């Protein structure tokens, strides 16, 4: 399928392209071009440049600080920033949690958390996957028991493959609040957990490139304020599905794939392999 863009769309594309060309710091661009590791400071630097332009939260409603773009503009923004060798937007807080808070959070939760997400002051870990509960999220076993006075949940369990948890100060998590529910999808709630809470331990998972972007998180009698429950008790499965709908559309990375393919073609040409049949066209 070949997309057709209007003159207005193409003007917007050029605006984004020029912004990336002039505003993306050279050292960060070089890291992306060469496939080098980006550190937390690299992402924050670029995210704050985007936020100053009003472009960090493309999917947010205008009333919460979004730019009011349509779907085509969001696609063009994603493509042009990544084609320009900018870091991708880390999805957890901006593209995953924020839509859930906007749709289901309390006014207090929105006021407390959304501004800090936009300003890159708070990074969020995704506490979904567990040993034995990856693709089958309904099998989560991490428990959250509400204390008799109703003020705190006591959380116990083990999360795994938690991206960038070592950079995060908060986690959103699916937890089991009713172990006797009739169906596995029932009895799950959506909690916001402070990563500095006593009893929460982050252990890095060493990756083949020497980094540790993925982590295990152990929760041992972690106390979570009851006001950190998002939406209704035992309705977390619905909120998790809503979040995953935003996650999948937010991590496609089409522009990044095109940028990396172009880089591969440059390397192939330098080695006299530009016409190799194994190098796909695009």
Give the whole-angstrom CA distance, residue 239 versus residue 243. Answer: 6
Token pair in block for residue 173: 């998590």
Close Cβ partners of 91 (under 8 Å, ≥ 6 residues apart): 247, 250, 251
Say what the alpha-carbon torsion angle 7, 12, 14, 15 is, to the nearest 10 degrees: 150
Q: Which of 10, 108, 247, 266 is catalytic?
A: 247
Residue tagged 């990563």 (tokens): 195
Contact 125, 164 (CB under 8 A): yes
Residue tagged 């957890």 (tokens): 92
Give the whole-angstrom CA distance, residue 204 versus residue 211. Answer: 9
Q: Is residue 247 flagged as an active site residue? A: yes
Give the whole-angstrom CA distance, residue 59 versus residue 121. Answer: 19
- Active-site annotation, residues: 247
């Amino acid at each position: 399928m070949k997309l057709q863009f209007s003159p207005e769309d193409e003007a917007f594309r050029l605006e984004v392209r020029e912004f990336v060309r002039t505003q993306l710091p050279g050292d960060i661009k070089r890291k992306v071009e060469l496939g080098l590791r980006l550190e937390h400071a690299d992402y924050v630097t670029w995210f704050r440049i985007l936020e100053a332009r009003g472009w960090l939260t493309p999917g947010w409603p205008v009333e919460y600080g979004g730019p009011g773009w349509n779907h085509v503009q969001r696609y063009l923004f994603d493509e042009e920033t990544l084609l320009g060798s900018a870091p991708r937007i880390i999805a957890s807080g901006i593209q995953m949690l924020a839509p859930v808070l906007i749709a289901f959070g309390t006014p207090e939760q929105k006021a407390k958390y959304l501004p800090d997400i936009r300003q890159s002051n708070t990074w969020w870990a995704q506490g979904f996957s567990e040993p034995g509960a990856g693709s089958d999220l309904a099998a989560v076993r991490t428990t959250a028991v509400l204390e008799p006075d109703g003020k705190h949940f006591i959380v116990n369990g083990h999360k795994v493959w938690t991206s960038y948890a070592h950079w995060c100060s908060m986690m959103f998590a699916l937890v089991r609040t009713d172990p006797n529910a009739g169906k596995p999808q029932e009895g799950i709630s959506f909690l916001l957990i402070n990563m500095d809470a006593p009893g929460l331990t982050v252990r890095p998972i060493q990756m083949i490139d020497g980094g540790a972007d993925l982590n295990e998180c152990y929760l041992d009698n972690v106390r979570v304020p009851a006001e950190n429950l998002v939406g209704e008790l035992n309705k977390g499965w619905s909120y998790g599905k809503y979040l995953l709908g935003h996650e999948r559309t937010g991590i496609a990375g089409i522009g990044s794939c095109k940028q990396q393919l172009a880089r591969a073609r440059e390397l192939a040409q330098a080695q006299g392999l530009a016409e190799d049949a194994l190098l796909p066209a695009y």
